[in-house]
Structure 1
Amino acid sequence: MEIIEIIKEKLSIFKNLYDTVRIIDPINKKVMKFEEDETEVVEESCFRFWKTEGYCKNCISMRAYLENDTFIKMEVTGGKVFLVISSPVTIENKVYIVEILKDVTQTGSIINNEKSIINIESLIKEMNDAAIKDELTGMYNRRYINERLQSDINDSVISNKPLCVVMADLDFFKDVNDNYGHVVGDSVLKDFAKILSTSVRSDSDWVGRYGGEEFLIVLRNTDGANAFKVIEKIRKFLQENIFDYKDIKIKITASFGGYSIISEKITIDELINEADKNLYLAKNSGRNKTIINL
C-alpha cells in the first residue's frame, strides 16, 4: 500500500487525465488499483476488467515491463472505449508497471451508441492484432512469444502443471523457394501455419512464428508424452499432405523438437534453447522426426 501511495503522489498533477490507475504485475497478471481517494488491492486477474476469460493478447503492460518503455493502446468493454497507457516506474530500485485508464467514449468523434461502439471495437481489434501477429501467416509474432511465454512458464510453476514448448521447422524449405519461387513458398508457410494452429486446442494452446520457416507451438497443461502424441499426429498428417497450388503439387515434411517442464523455474531463452536442441537432433538424425523429452 505504501508503494501505491507513492505512485498516487507522483501522478497527482495528472489527475484530470485518468479515471483509474492500476499497478500491474504483468507476469502473474495481478493488480492493485485506485480511483480518486479509494485504494483497493484486487486479488483477481488484471484482465478481468476487460471481461475476458484469458490474457489480453496485446498486453502492453508486459511489453512495458520487458522493454522498459511506455506503450499506449485502446480497448472496449461494457460499451465504453478506454485509452490505456502502461509505463514502468522505478521505486526503491524496483520496477512497477503503472497502467492508466481513461474513458474516452464521449471524447471527440467517439459517439456513445451501439453502432459506433461496434465499429470502434472492430477497428481496435484489428490494431491490436496487427501488433502481435505475423503479417504473412496470421500466427503470433516474436513480440507476443516473448510476452506470453513468460506468463505460461510462471503459471506452470504456480499451478504445478506441465508445459511443453515445441519448435517446428519445415525440411528443405529452401528447395521450395528455389524451385517454385517465394510466392509459392509463402503459400506453403501459410498452409503449414494453418495445419499447426488447427491441430492444437484453441482454448489453451497457441502457435507463433519464430522466424523464417520455424514455428513455436506451446502446449499448456501437457506433459512430454502427451505432447509427443499431439506432434506426431501433426507430423504424420503433414507427410501425407499435398500442397496443391493450381498446377504445382508439393510434398514437404517437418521436424519437431520439444521440451516439457513441470513447475520448473526456467527463462524463455533457456526453454526455447532446450526445445531447439531437440529440433537439432531431429534434423540431424534424418529429418521428418519428433524428439521431445519424456
Structure 2
Amino acid sequence: MSKMENPQQLMQFLQQLEKIYNLVRIVDPLAKRVITVSGCNSEMIEDSICYEFWQKNNHCANCVSMRAANENDTFVKIEYNQEKIFMAMATPVVLSGRTHIVEMLKDISETGIVPDLKGKNVAEINQIIENLNQAVITDELTQVYNRRFINEKLPIDLYAAVGNDGVLSAILVDVDDFKQINDTYGHSMGDRVLRRVAEILKNNIQRKGDWAARYGGDEFLVVLPDADRKSAKKIAERIRRQVEQETFELRGSTVSTTISCGVSSAGPRDSASAVDFFDRLDQKLYQSKHSGKNSISG
C-alpha cells in the first residue's frame, strides 16, 4: 500500500469526504504510515506515523484500520488527542482496482456522544476514552485480550519483527480435558479455571510489548516480541508448572488440571503471514496434545 495508483482520483475522492469530516487520510495499517491526507486543520503531514495525531508513543491497541483491512468492513471508535474528541471511522475503499484503507476523523467534542466529560482534565478524559477502547478488545471473562485483538495485533508485531531484523515468539496454550471439567463440575468451575490460567499467563509476561489473549474456548495465545524460541519455551515451561500445581475449589469440589503448549518463532528471513505463523503454532500444540498432554512442543 506504500505506492498508490492514480493518486489524482484518490485525492478527488478524499476532497469529497472533506466536506463531511475534519480530517481524511489514507493509512497503511501494518506499517502505521499516513500515505495521503486531506482536509487537515492541524499539523498532519503525509508519510507520518498514524498514531502521532493522537499524541501517542505507540500504535493504538484498538486499531480500526487494521480491523477494516482484516475484515473488509467499516469500523468506528472514539479517540482523543488532548485537544478534541474524535469519532474515527476506517473503511476499505477500492479505487483503480486497489483497496485502500481510508480513515475519516470527525470532531465530536461538543456533541455529548461521550458523556460525563464536563470538568474533566486531560488525564481523566484520556482514561475514559482508553476504557471505552479497551472494552472492545478485552475478553470479559478472563480480562486478557480477545480474539479480535489477536487478529489486529499479531500481524503488526510480526511485520515489525521481520522488518527490523528482529525475532518474535509465541505460545499457544490449551487447557487439557477442559470439556470434562465443564461436564463434571459445571461451567462455573470451568470459568474459574480459565480466569486463573489467564492470570498465570499475565504474571509470566512482564516485559513491555508482551501480551496474552484468549483465542477462544480454552485456548490462549501469548506473544513475546524480541524473544527467541529458547526463551519462549522457558516461559512456557514456567507457566505449565504453575498451572499443574494449582487446585480449584468450588462448592466442595476440588479440581486440578494441566495445559499443553505449542511454541513457534519468526525471524528476519521468515516471510510467513500471521495466518501461516498461527498455523505453525497450532501444529506444535497438536503435537503436545497427542503426546500425552501436559507438555510443550516447539
Displacement of 1:42 in angstroms is 2.9
**In the alignment, structure 1 residue 99 sits paired with structure 2 residue 103:** yes
Cα distance change on mapping 1:116 and 1:290 into 2, 3 Å: same
Which of 54, 58, 62 lines up with 1:50 in the alignment? 54
1:157 aligned residue: 162
More helix per residue: 1 or 2? 1
Describe the superposition over 1:94-139 as per-residue Cα deviations: whole angstroms up to 9, x where unpaired: 2111111122213357797542877765554343223222222122
Query: How far, CA to CA, are the matches of 1:74 and 1:109 in structure 2?
Result: 9
> What is the 5 A alignment of 1:1-294?
5-36=8-39, 40-43=45-48, 45-108=49-112, 113-115=118-120, 121-201=126-206, 203-245=208-250, 247-263=252-268, 264-292=270-298
Query: How far, CA to CA, are the matches of 1:35 and 1:279 in structure 2?
Result: 47
Residues 20 and 100, structure 1, Cα contact 8 Å, conserved in 2: yes
Cα distance change on mapping 1:37 and 1:178 into 2, 3 Å: closer
* Alignment-mate amino acid for residue 220 of structure 1: P
* Alignment-mate amino acid for residue 18 of structure 2: K
Residues 165 and 260, structure 1, Cα contact 8 Å, conserved in 2: yes
Query: How far, CA to CA, are the matches of 1:5 and 1:135 in structure 2?
Result: 45
Query: How far, CA to CA, are the matches of 1:214 and 1:108 in structure 2?
Result: 39
Query: How far, CA to CA, are the matches of 1:165 and 1:59 in structure 2?
Result: 21
What TM-score do the two structures reach when normalised by structure 1? 0.89
Query: How far, CA to CA, are the matches of 1:241 and 1:42 in structure 2?
Result: 51
Gaps of 5+ in 2: none
Query: How far, CA to CA, are the matches of 1:116 and 1:54 in structure 2?
Result: 22
Describe the superposition over 1:33-90 as per-residue Cα deviations: whole angstroms up to 9, x where unpaired: 43547983234x2122222232211111011111222211111221421111111122
Cα distance change on mapping 1:88 and 1:107 into 2, 3 Å: same
Cα distance change on mapping 1:217 and 1:228 into 2, 3 Å: same
* Alignment-mate amino acid for residue 209 of structure 1: R
Residues 79 and 114, structure 1, Cα contact 8 Å, conserved in 2: no
Residues 63 and 147, structure 1, Cα contact 8 Å, conserved in 2: yes
* More deviation, 242-251/181-190: 242-251
Residues 169 and 254, structure 1, Cα contact 8 Å, conserved in 2: yes
Query: How far, CA to CA, are the matches of 1:114 and 1:22 in structure 2?
Result: 31
Query: How far, CA to CA, are the matches of 1:116 and 1:20 in structure 2?
Result: 24
CA RMSD across the alignment: 2.5
Identity among equivalent positions (%) equals 36
SS at match of 2:59: coil
Query: How far, CA to CA, are the matches of 1:174 and 1:108 in structure 2?
Result: 46
Cα distance change on mapping 1:105 and 1:117 into 2, 3 Å: farther
Gaps of 5+ in 1: none
Displacement of 1:15 in angstroms is 2.7
Displacement of 1:178 in angstroms is 2.1
Describe the superposition over 1:158-206 as per-residue Cα deviations: whole angstroms up to 9, x where unpaired: 1111111211011111221122111111111111111112211352111
Cα distance change on mapping 1:109 and 1:193 into 2, 3 Å: closer
What TM-score do the two structures reach when normalised by structure 2? 0.88
Residues 23 and 40, structure 2, Cα contact 8 Å, conserved in 1: no
SS at match of 1:86: strand
Counting matched residue pairs gives: 291
* More deviation, 26-35/118-127: 118-127
Query: How far, CA to CA, are the matches of 2:17 and 2:192 in structure 1?
Result: 50
Query: How far, CA to CA, are the matches of 2:24 and 2:109 in structure 1?
Result: 18
* More deviation, 115-124/228-237: 115-124
More strand per residue: 1 or 2? 1
Query: How far, CA to CA, are the matches of 2:12 and 2:274 in structure 1?
Result: 35
Residues 59 and 147, structure 1, Cα contact 8 Å, conserved in 2: yes
